[in-house]
Amino acid sequence: MRYSLIILFALLFVIPVFSQIHIVDVPKANYKERIIKAVNEIQIIDTHEHLATEESRLQIGKKIDFTYLFRHYAKEDLISAANITNKGLIEIIYKNDFPLLDRWELLKPFYRAMRTTGYGRIPLIAARDLYGVPDISDSTVELLTLRMQAANKPGLYENILKEKARIDLSIMDMGRNNFDKKFYRHVERFDNFLLISSASEIIDIGKQFDIKINSLDDYNFALRKAFLAGIDFGMVGIKSTLAYKRILKFKNTSKEKAEKVFKSLLEKSKVKSEDVKIIQDYLIHKLLDLVDEFDLPIQIHTGLQAGNGNTITNSNPTHLVNLFFEYPNVKFILFHASYPYGGELGTLAKNFPNVFIDMCWSYVISPSYSKRYLHEWIETVPANKIMAFGGDYDFVEAVYAHSVMARQIIADVLIEKVRDRYLTESEAIDIAKMILRENALRIFKLDSSLNPMVNLKVLNKPGPLHDWWEIRKTNEGFIKNWKVIGVFDYGIGLNQIYPPENEIQYLKNYNGKGGIVKWETENTLPTGYLNFISIFSKRNTEINPKAKGIAYAYAEIKSPNNRKVKIALGSNDGAKVWINNKVVYNIHAGRGAVPDQDIITVEFKKGINKILVKVENIGASWGLYLRIVDPKKELETIQFND
Ligand SMILES: [Zn+2]
């Protein structure tokens, strides 16, 4: 009793806290109508669809009937509702050799059960808005069918996607099809390269690319060839649905380990399923190397899987964290609002500059979940990282109906945020434009003028910022091949002296953190990023490279004469640099690495110049960018081989 009194009191005090803090002025009259109008007028860039071409849709001809609106996700809820005692029944509903009204009688009890789910609302919205039939009932299914048959003719897609749904472009996940560019762009999947379990599958994949696969190197080459073909075909990103098959936790495995399993697969010996995972873990890294090299975004399925019966915990987006660390330049787009892991998703997208939210499919999974998390994400995640619409359907009526839900929920959220004086009306409308259109155009590089840096006047007028920009806008001069040693104990950080500061001896062993360490040759990612997390997690699985530590990287540059040279570097965290044994840079800082964080001028002598960089890790990500500004290309980086 005493406790319930305390709880009652606590509630009385807590309730006011739930209401929003007031940041901006009270909105002007009729703001709701204006926000709704603005959201409705946006030409959407739809980030995810599975549509067949209009041509193949029209082939159904007069056989189309009202049950077509119950395809795809609605069918999954019908199966879920019909449960095991009525197995097979749901299939009959779609077979038009049975009489229409009889099938409606079969559907009715289950429709009653699922018509209120998000999936179940889609046929209703489509019937109402596209076919002028106010409900789906005994008296309307025949009329609905007649109207659908009448509409099933050329121009259907133009009418539904462009005019009704006001979708400018949809990004299609249907492989390499001959898409009409007026409607679509496309992404491709390479999961089949990863999901191999036999020699014949490997050989078949090789055949598709005219490569005889005898080793993992051959296979990597086939993957590269497939990827390049996708680029030639105009793919704007890649898509992965591995969460349907396995957990999204991908370890950083050495090539040697993967090669071993790959060989036994090729030799047709029995391979355990855990061992197949080793190849997959290795190959996802190879795939991400390509994604990184060609600067394409990757869409990853997270959260709820389609179909009936799946392992939800496999698809928790937090499993992917190590990849976010290892590929800081790759844009990871996490799909489906990660239902039900919306809190985790928001945290990841807030924390990692390379993680983006995609709400495709989410409004039909749950309108209120979408609303709740959009509310939260507007408060937690920069608005240029949220893409708020992908229909994720295989028929156009549902894409339209889903877009109706999405626009309404987005408008609702924005109206509430303006009402609660968290956003101004113009901020709200600005967010809508970003999340429904601009972000997708920018992230998939569909419109280059949306890169905010391109038109910045301040970068183009003479001055130090312009000089920096001249360096920054090229991708040249990065040292991409280093000798690397580590991990050493952090000690007193950049002031803790280790042997590489006194001698560079490639063949010598030294005492490091968790055992012996030695110099090894390492290449950066294509962007020039030397990723110590990837390097050290491959070298020694016993230590955690995300903890505190010290590493050294060493390179040599040949110069034709004595000269002053500009070096641009970025490091995570702080760094100390020696040129020919002289300290030229020493900054202790907790920071993320970006190229050209600092630009220094140093003296190079004629002949070989030694660059030693010591990089500290005070936690989490760890890496280095370093490039030599050499516009006339007179300097030569000495290449290290193993
Ligand atoms: Zn999909």
Please tell me the distance from the alpha carbon of residue 157 to that of residue 186, in angstroms, as a whole number.
Answer: 17
Least confident piece of the model among 12-16, 141-145, 154-158, 198-202 = 12-16
The CATH number of 469-637 is which of 2.40.30.10, 2.60.120.380, 1.10.240.10, 3.40.50.970? 2.60.120.380
Q: Measured between alpha carbons, how far is residue 381 from residues 348, 349, 389, 428 in Å?
A: 9, 6, 17, 14
Q: How many angstroms is it from 173 CA to the middle of ligand 1?
A: 7
Q: How many angstroms is it from 333 CA to the middle of ligand 1?
A: 13
Token pair 């990612």 is at which residue? 525
Q: Residue 619's pLDDT band (boundaries 50, 70, 90)?
A: confident
pLDDT score of 1: 47
Q: How many angstroms is it from 159 CA to the middle of ligand 1?
A: 23
pLDDT score of 17: 45
Token pair 């509903």 is at which residue? 93
Q: How many angstroms is it from 450 CA to the middle of ligand 1?
A: 26
Q: Is the pLDDT of residue 214 over 70?
A: yes
- The residues pairing with 600 across neighbouring beta strands, listed in sequence order, are 567
Q: How many angstroms is it from 390 CA to the middle of ligand 1?
A: 9
**Cα atoms found within 13 Å of the Cα of residue 259, Cβ hemisphere only:** 8
| Three-class DSSP labels, 134-179 | CCCCCCCHHHHHHHHHHHCCCCHHHHHHHHHCCEEEEEECCCCCCC
Looking at residue 325, its amino acid is F
pLDDT score of 452: 65
Q: Where in the chain are the domains? A: 61-151, 167-446, 469-637
Q: Is 512 helix (H, G, I), strand (E, B) or coil?
A: strand
What number is the average pLDDT over the span 190-214? Answer: 92
Residue with the bigger pLDDT between 71 and 273: it is 71
Q: How many angstroms is it from 49 CA to the middle of ligand 1?
A: 6
Taking only the tens place, the pLDDT of each residue in 476-499 is 899 999 999 999 999 999 999 999
Q: How many angstroms is it from 308 CA to the middle of ligand 1?
A: 15
Residue 54 CA from chain centroid, whole number? 29
pLDDT score of 12: 52
Taking only the tens place, the pLDDT of each residue in 412-457 is 999 999 999 999 999 999 999 999 999 999 999 998 666 666 667 8
For 429-464, b/e burial (b = at least 16 CB within 10 A) is bbbbbbbbbbbbbbbbeeeeebeeeeeeeebeeeee
Segments of 441-480 assigned E as strands: none
pTM, 2 dp? 0.80
Nearest to 620 by CA among 363, 240, 188, 328: 328
Which residues, 6 or more positions from 583, have their beta carbon under 8 angstroms from its beta carbon? 576, 577
Q: Residue 159's pLDDT band (boundaries 50, 70, 90)?
A: very high
Tokens of 510: 């030294």
List, in sequence order, the alpha helices (H) in 22-71.
Answer: 31-41, 54-58
Q: How many angstroms is it from 377 CA to the middle of ligand 1?
A: 22
Q: How many angstroms is it from 218 CA to the middle of ligand 1?
A: 31
Contact 114, 78 (CB under 8 A): yes
List, in sequence order, the alpha helices (H) in 392-493.
Answer: 396-419, 425-433, 439-443, 464-472
Looking at residue 229, its amino acid is A
Least confident piece of the model among 13-22, 244-253, 310-319 = 13-22
CATH code of domain 167-446: 3.20.20.140
Least confident piece of the model among 116-125, 246-255, 350-359 = 246-255
Q: How many angstroms is it from 240 CA to the middle of ligand 1?
A: 10
Q: How many angstroms is it from 396 CA to the middle of ligand 1?
A: 14
Please tell me the distance from the alpha carbon of residue 234 to that of residue 222, in angstroms, as a whole number.
Answer: 19
pLDDT score of 8: 55
Contact 185, 446 (CB under 8 A): yes
Looking at residue 561, its amino acid is N
